[in-house]
Structure 1
């Protein structure tokens, strides 16, 4: 456990574990956040500032450890230009779907074409039962 970072994927409510399950199933290999939020810790189960090579424990909203991932790449993208590896890695069918979901999830922000997001690419290391 020593030296690992922690990450929590948010869902529709506290019982929504669809995102950790998507990671475990191999469909989700990328996550994106605002530049400001990415580099900030968010409680006991979210360290932020993830970098390539980091080993990260993934928790559900019940604070249950679900899997271990390794960060492979981190880079910024523009909201108006979502690379295919990002929208596919987020398990979306298109860049338009990626944008629509993030507009709903980040409704408190004014997302526009030049708005920057940070993408964290990762690989599944271990599933925790």
Structure 2
């Protein structure tokens, strides 16, 4: 599949906070729309901090779905029924003493398999 760049400008810019499982629709000036669904992600700071989200970005008729998870830490149970053609997540781990800041490598492969992805970036 060859993807061609699309340049869209969005009207009525707004910020929407999504809890895992919630979704929002974004419309471009040309009428194109995408759905964005939040998925459960990791708690990376202090334990009282809210978990970070991953995001599924779904094209208008669902022809293409992208999953973005910036730390490659995800809730497997939450994603088991999901599908993504493209996964954007780290493929290299970043380790601190006694703490994995960013997962990757085998975790990225498992995430791609879980979502039946065709491409991982």
In the superposition, the TM-score normalised over structure 2's length comes to 0.27
Q: Which protein is bigger by CA-based radius of gyration?
A: 2
Query: Which structure dedicates a bigger proportion of its chain to helix?
Result: 1
In the superposition, the TM-score normalised over structure 1's length comes to 0.26
